[in-house]
Amino acid sequence: MKDIKIFSGRANPDLALRICEYLALPMGRISLGDFPDGEIACKIDEDIRGRDVFLVQPTCPPVNQNLMELLIMIESCKRASAERVTAVIPYFGYARQDRKDEGRVPITAKLVANLVTRAGADRVLAMDLHAAQIQGFFDVPVDHLYAAPVLNDHFLAMNLRSEDIVVVSPDEGSIKRALGHVKRLGGELAIVDKRRSSAETTRQENIIGGPVADKIVLMFDDMISTAGSICGAAHVLAQEDAREIHVAATHGVLCGEAPELLLRAPITSVVITDTIPLAEDQLIDKIEILSVAPLLGEGIKRIHRNESVSRLFDEVSGVKWA
């Protein structure tokens, strides 16, 4: 591992530090700042010629600032003669703009993938992309990790009885994810019928599948952004007399009033990972944060050693997620 260097942008340095601690490696030295006019300044403060470099930078809010910083870091490493540069993007911003769902709109996820590639990234390591096909937007290899084993271990530690569990998909797009959790955790599957009236507004109407009355509901999603869908689903489940409602998501974006909505909703707990750092006003009592640093660290180690990354999920959970 002596030829590996891990650097962090300013988006989530704590996660990068935990990755380095897992790998028993020092954090790479890099200077990042802003010029008076807002331009980003970057300087790699150590020799990386011929090294295998990993840049940890989720493109979380402020999305454009963090994305531009990632591109500049990649450019800096390429000009410093790094042998290989891997962009480690725990949260990929613009992922929800992955298709043309109406006329005269961009596919921005593809544009961002092009930017990362043209900046000089040789590989990308991402976690729980909003749509799996985004991997194909990149013209370089993409290793796609899933936080499912980390979330599953949390609920397995609660020693819940399988007959008490109902795994709920908050919409039809998350059914495959929910089925994966059922295989690992047991219980029945249910789906909340979600209807979208605009980009910001959805409504939840019916529950399809197993009965939830007097059951412990585990609801999984890839991200919680405005929390409208999750809270709407929780209200429908509560009306059906669910005993407890636990929500789990990889990315806690938590825009605007999302923390307040989660606090008021009939939700017992909210489990998210540390792909995105939370501000003080986002840390409500219901939220519990799990670290994906060991998972990302193991992925980095396997990429560096040219070992299989997909096999990691078979070894961790016994269930193939990729």
Which residues, in sequence order, are bridge partners of residue 30?
Answer: 44
Angle at 38 between CA 37 and CA 43, to 5 degrees: 110
Handedness of CA 222, 155, 168, 162 (dihedral sign): positive
3-state secondary structure of 155: helix
Pair 207, 236: CB distance under 8 Å: yes
In the numeric block, the tokens 């409208």 are attached to 228
In the numeric block, the tokens 């096999």 are attached to 311
**Which DSSP state fits 69?**
H
What letters, b where the CB count within 10 A reaches 16 and e where it falls short, cover 204-215? beebebbebeeb
Pair 130, 91: CB distance under 8 Å: no
Pair 77, 120: CB distance under 8 Å: yes
- Nearest CA to 60 among 88, 89, 91, 27? 91
Counting runs of H as helices and runs of E as strands, what totals does the chain give?
Answer: 9, 14
Catalytic residues: 194
In the numeric block, the tokens 């043309």 are attached to 100
Distance between CA atoms of 133 and 146, rounded to whole angstroms?
14
